[in-house]
Structure 1
Amino acid sequence: MGGRYYPRRSGEGSVWELSMPQFAYKARDIEGNLVKGAVGAPDEGELATLLKERGLYLVHFKEEKEKKEKKASLGSISFGKIKRRDLIEFTIHLATVLSAGIPILEGLQDLGDKTNNSRFRGIIRSVREDIHGGSNLSSALSRHPEVFPQAYVNMVKAGEASGNVDMILKELTGFLEWQEELSANVRKASVYPLMVLTAVGILLTILFAFAFPRIIGILQGMRVPLPLITRVAIGISTFFRDYWWLIFLAVAAGVVGLRLAGKTAKGRLWIDKLKLRLPVVGDLARKVALSRFAHHLGLLWRAGIDISQALTLVEGVVGNQVIAEAISRTREEVLAGESLSRSLAKRGQFSSLVIRMISIGEVSGEMDGSLSKVCQYYDQEVPATVKKIFSVMEPLIIVLLAFVVLGAALSMYLPLYTALGRLGK
């Protein structure tokens, strides 16, 4: 669930509530000036009391949650997609602003004016308005979960609690840069094979749906025994010609079925189990998931976020349902008193390196350093595995193409050679 955190009054100071309503309000100060803003509060009474403590008197209010969600949805259609690079630039700028001592409202105003992405510019301005209205940074960011993930918001919140928001933002910048690099490696490993296989599929379609039907009559009219490879090619070509619609429906049904399965818990679990079992590719999928686990857990650990909450957040970002379920069971056992390393070892999904390093961190009290070493290991292993995939797939693809071309050539030329031999006699 996309968490939203808003502050409210408490006898012990500021506490945090999940999914607290957000109110847009109009109020008057002691001099009668109109003040507009947005703030989180459990209900109207708490809202009025909160504003009164700030020297404001409530005139009008409106719950803003539904409106904002609708606005965000419309924005995603009307404007361009907000890329991770936009978020990285935002985080770098905000860290610089805070470390330089520039007021955050001025910094956000400047950042909003310089942002090229129209949708992101509107979100930055909305964040600025919320902060101007009394919300703190993490509360304002949490109202835009489509841009600022829950882990991002929780990191900022932890920085606010410790007074080191600028340092947290700098660490988030490095983290987001790692995510960008990881995504590039994953795309590189998946796009190239798909492009080559698509090209092979197009080649086979052209051969069997268009080329062979033109020469089938010629080959059959030669009245010579057709070799097996030619008969197979004719059979495939005939199938393409007569049942092309069935092939199209089968491919479409497979794509739609996978998409629908991916939207259910059982379907995602089945697909992710299959990914992990695939030769070569399964190894990459596991390393990518474990890299995400180590990076996210290390980031949240350094921010001082409770291990239970950290594991809950990590569970949602590893990108593999099998690993996510293992993390969920680990969290339950950790809450029951089990050590993190021992619980992870029971799952059978985590490498011995991850378990060993976490165990060392638990014993030495240097969990941060242990997780950093795991991150460094996978930062090297993921690109190395991508290169390994290419080194394996490239010769296989060349052999496949050679097999297709050679088979097509033989199926056409063998009957011609036989016919020419008979003419020579």
Structure 2
Amino acid sequence: MSAFRYKALNLEGRLIKGVLEADSERHLRAQLRAQQLRPVEVLGVEMKVAKGPRSRFVFLKSGLSGSELALVTRQLATLVASALPLDECLQAAAEQTRKPSIKSILLEVRSRVSEGYTLASGMAQYPQAFGEMYRAMVHAGEQAGQLAPVLEQLAAYTENRQLTAQKLKLALIYPFVLMGVAVSVVAALMVFVVPELVSIFTHTKKELPPLTVGLIATSDFLRNWGAYLLVGFVLSGIGLRRLLQEPRRQLAWHQFLLRVPGIGRVLTGIDTARFSSTLSILMASGVPLLDALHIAGSVMSNRELQQAATKVADNVQEGSSLNKALSQRAFFPPMMVHMVASGEVSGELEVMLERSAINQERELEMTLGTVMGLFEPLMVILMGGVVLLIVLAILLPIFDLNTMVR
């Protein structure tokens, strides 16, 4: 069976859209008529895949968002734990979602499972929706006969990761909004207010103070070239983004970011925490250590850190212990290395990795909180300094005129 999109009219003449599973278009039309719907349009769901087995249909390009993946995983975990057949679990999960793209994916995966494929194999058609780590855990759970517990772990992992991402976004929203407001206010002053105030000085023959001359020149420049400057910034950002798509330039850029004071520490903390958490959940699910290291390295966003993780995996493959391999890379925190060493000795490596990830996330939250706490007064001071310069540039000529009158 395959997934189809349809448009149909109900008894009241209203257009209804949806996705259903059927053997063929004729079968789907029969299902719609049985529901007292008149088919208007029926299309096979198509999906383009970048990797994995070739699907008969091509549909998804962007994959699932973090929140959507967390919700689908939690639903599947609950349904599988209730001892329902896997294809019925996928059917029920598809019926519970209202988004056609998610429903199409789940129905197509159900079709593969009904044909005898494993759940991991069915998900491999959609690498943008189900990442490599996700599929590896599902595969390990199926091999061990522990799919329900593994899906529970995946649900908790995806929910925690989504929560962490939301915290980071909320922490960054305020400073960006504050910076945007500050820049907008200064730009408005320079373009609309300052020219009206300083125009009375431009007609005098008296030499103006250098600060006032600079203010007038800046105001004229922004009025004449401000729009072009804004367009230039936008085009530069787009061009830089395209340039960074090339692997060598992207690697050089990521190396530069890691060397920037403050930013490098935050980026390293985010990626190493993600590495620890992913490695922990993969090992707890029964994925071999080498495979888990390669997958955990691939989820890191910084290419320099990805290469460091790859070298760690190579050292472990050559016979080195994990803590020794990590200690040879300067990016991994010493506390993480010590906890890994303790886990290897006690035989609870996945537990110690999870604790390491939690500690790093807490430290990262404290660091971001400190940075954001300092950012607000610094922006207020900077904004006040700029406004003070504008006020002085306007008042200095007035003081000079008062002196001449006396």
Contact 2:64 2:128 in 1 (8 A): no
In 2, the alpha carbon distance for the partners of 1:323 and 1:400 equals 35
Partner of 2:392: 410
Partner of 1:375: 357
How many residues align? The count is 357
Partner of 2:4: none
Are 2:113 and 1:113 aligned? no
Contact 1:109 1:125 in 2 (8 A): yes
Which of 95, 104, 110 does residue 128 from structure 1 map onto?
Answer: 110
Partner of 1:244: 226
| Equivalent position amino acid for 2:252 in 1 | W
Partner of 1:286: 268
In 1, the alpha carbon distance for the partners of 2:246 and 2:165 equals 24
Partner of 2:367: 385
- Tell me, what secondary structure is at the counterpart of 2:84? coil
Q: TM-score, normalised by structure 2?
A: 0.82
Contact 2:273 2:358 in 1 (8 A): no
In 2, the alpha carbon distance for the partners of 1:289 and 1:104 equals 34
In 2, the alpha carbon distance for the partners of 1:215 and 1:242 equals 18
Partner of 2:326: 344
Distance 1:179 1:341, change over 3 A: same
Partner of 1:88: 70
Q: TM-score, normalised by structure 1?
A: 0.78
Partner of 1:273: 255
Q: Equivalent residues in 2 for 1:13-412 (5 A)? A: 65=54, 67-68=56-57, 70-73=58-61, 76=62, 82-244=64-226, 247-248=229-230, 250-412=232-394
- Tell me, what secondary structure is at the counterpart of 1:350? coil
Per-residue CA deviation, residues 94-119 of structure 1 (Å, 9 max, x unaligned), is 11112111222222222211201111
Following TM superposition, by how much is the alpha carbon of 1:337 offset from its aligned partner in structure 2, in angstroms? 1.7
Distance 1:261 1:188, change over 3 A: farther
Partner of 2:19: none
In 2, the alpha carbon distance for the partners of 1:339 and 1:213 equals 69
The alignment yields a C-alpha RMSD, in angstroms, of: 2.3
- Tell me, what secondary structure is at the counterpart of 1:172? helix
Distance 1:64 1:363, change over 3 A: closer
Contact 1:185 1:382 in 2 (8 A): no
Following TM superposition, by how much is the alpha carbon of 1:125 offset from its aligned partner in structure 2, in angstroms? 0.9
In 2, the alpha carbon distance for the partners of 1:209 and 1:402 equals 18
* 236-245 or 102-111: bigger deviation: 236-245
Contact 1:82 1:117 in 2 (8 A): no
In 1, the alpha carbon distance for the partners of 2:110 and 2:216 equals 68
In 2, the alpha carbon distance for the partners of 1:83 and 1:253 equals 28
Partner of 1:18: none
Following TM superposition, by how much is the alpha carbon of 1:184 offset from its aligned partner in structure 2, in angstroms? 1.2
Following TM superposition, by how much is the alpha carbon of 1:377 offset from its aligned partner in structure 2, in angstroms? 0.4
- Stretches of structure 1 lacking an aligned partner (at least 5 in a row): 1-24, 27-62
Distance 1:191 1:262, change over 3 A: farther
In 1, the alpha carbon distance for the partners of 2:341 and 2:376 equals 40
Contact 1:354 1:374 in 2 (8 A): yes
| Equivalent position amino acid for 1:422 in 2 | M
* 373-382 or 224-233: bigger deviation: 224-233
Distance 1:172 1:104, change over 3 A: same
Following TM superposition, by how much is the alpha carbon of 1:241 offset from its aligned partner in structure 2, in angstroms? 3.5
Partner of 1:50: none
Contact 2:342 2:352 in 1 (8 A): yes
Following TM superposition, by how much is the alpha carbon of 1:378 offset from its aligned partner in structure 2, in angstroms? 1.8
Per-residue CA deviation, residues 79-136 of structure 1 (Å, 9 max, x unaligned), is xx73222221211121111211122222222221120111101111111111111112
- Tell me, what secondary structure is at the counterpart of 2:269? helix
Contact 1:345 1:355 in 2 (8 A): yes
In 2, the alpha carbon distance for the partners of 1:119 and 1:340 equals 41
- Tell me, what secondary structure is at the counterpart of 1:116? coil
